[in-house]
Amino acid sequence: MTIAGMHVELRPDSRRMGRRTFLRVAAVGAAAPVIASACPFTAASAAPATQLGTWQHAIGAPRGSDIAVTVGREQEGRFGLLFKKLPAFEPPDELLGTLARTMTDPRPPAQDPSDHDRWDNPDITAGYTFLGQFIDHDITRDTTPMPAQRTDPRGLTNFDTPMFDLGSVYGRGPDADPQLYDPARPGYLLLGTHDGLYDLPRAADGTAYIGDPRNDENLIVAQLHVAFLRFHNALMDEGKGFAAAQRLTIWHYQSLIVTEFLPRICGQRLVDGLVALGAKIPWYRPKNVRRPMMPIEFSVAAYRFGHSMVRPEYELNDAHTGPVFAHPGDPRDDLRGSRPVPSYYRADWTYFFDVPGRPRPEGLNFARLMDTNLAMPLHDLPATVVSRVSTPLFTDLAERNLLRGKRLGLAAGQDVAKALGLRPLSNAELGLTDPGWKGRAPLWFYVLKEAELTQGGRRLGPTGGALVAGTLLTLLFLDPTSYVHVKPRWTPSTTRFTVGHFLQRAGCA
């Protein structure tokens, strides 16, 4: 298949992860953060996280993301369009709302995730949902001081360059953010401990001292963040100095993005083809390569594929399964974060990733298929996530995504596919029969439905895969400090370095 003049093999991978003996994949599925999407950006650096029970992921309008509609489609700043000549797609709000209400899986959270196997993605365990969320937070941090944000609300001048630098872990370094570091052990990252488990370091009221408060928004990504703290500290224990431990932690993380995350989400052949191009991927050529803009097509649409991967519930360990949101109920009964991790919600990582030498537990969590069916808890977001108002706009994540895409000037999915040199799927193929669509579909919906129709929901289709892999790999290759530029070539500590290896070396699995 040719994408933007580049021939890329997009056949399904012959490699398949093992399965629980029961699993049967739905004939028509969908693909993958992951939680994904660009979340609200925080202005704080290494500040305590937000108050108990909040989950502020993917519900805000990041500073500067409205550049196409407020400054111009040709402009680039903190954000910008990949396809500047394409017209904005502006279907009626009512049509978007109606579509959103068809995008909900009606089943409530289960006591046992394995009770509903047909929703599972056999190729992606649930941990990659949260790894995708962690990645998103790393490249979308906004540490611009508040006065500069107020004078530059469109993000044209004052913004951080998106890099895979683990700024959420290291903050601005030991001198500028000493609260992230262990005062008793120079060079070590500070950890919290309680109830026999490691946690984020926290203030007396339970809020975390962390480089990006969004990494404390749910109990799973918070514990994944702890794994990065422990990985760095394990390198220090091995005798590395701070700079070497930081550099190696970042490089191992970057390697996981290229060799683990992207192949599962986008397909190995596509990733291999794009890696060979380096920073010359034709559809993402930022005007300023030293300060590349974040593509709106990626952040507002394609990377929000992860919302479809979110399960209604997760089995954290042998003894406890918890819902994403308790409806109704105390947030202490679900996975909302910004609080000390309860001991009963300790993550046994074998329930989220394959760990070398460890058998898969019977209750292994799989990510949901990437498709147009979002888990029920995302249809009715609780008050701790978003203010309650009379319209579904503010409580239904699908409707929020669809309306945001329109408000920020996204082109239609078919137009973006065509700009990539792909054969676009028709609205008849997508199942959009209302004439009000005028033969076009919202880009976010298009990416999810394309994954469902072309890949059975196991990974992203050609358009979504090109936007996600192309963006992440370009950002990696534009960073002169990333591992891809090391000479002689750097490789991880083991021949095949997986998330499971990472967790073992960190002492977490």
Position 267 confidence tier, pLDDT thresholds 50, 70, 90: very high
Q: Do 229 and 191 contact (CB within 8 A), yes or no?
A: yes
- List, for residues 419-476, the tens digit of each pLDDT value: 999 999 999 999 999 999 999 999 999 999 999 999 999 999 999 999 999 999 999 9
CA 282, CA 114: separation in Å to the nearest integer? 42
Q: Would you place residue 43 in the very low, low, confident or very high pLDDT band (cuts 50, 70, 90)?
A: very low
User: In three state form, how does the secondary structure of 427-462 look?
Assistant: HHHHCCCCHHHCCCCCHHHHHHHHHHHHHCCCCCCH
Q: Is the pLDDT of residue 383 over 90?
A: no
Banded model confidence at residue 357, pLDDT cuts 50, 70, 90: very high
Task: Please check the confidence at residue 392 and state whether its pLDDT lies above 50.
Answer: no
Please tell me the pTM assigned to this model.
0.88
Q: Distance (Å, rounded) from C-alpha 373 to C-alpha 108?
A: 13
The answer to whether the CB of 220 falls within 8 A of the CB of 230 is no
| pLDDT, mean of residues 71-76 | 96
Top-level CATH class of 2-505? mainly alpha
Residue 377 has a pLDDT of: 86
Number of helices (H) and strands (E) in the chain: give both, helices first.
16, 10
Segment 62-80 shows an average pLDDT of 95
Any idea where the domains of the chain sit in the sequence? 2-505
One-letter amino acid for residue 509 of the chain: A
Question: Phi-psi region for residue 4, left (φ > 0), alpha (ψ -120 to 50) or beta?
Answer: left
Q: Is the pLDDT of residue 356 over 50?
A: yes
pLDDT in tens, 204-220: 999 999 999 999 999 99
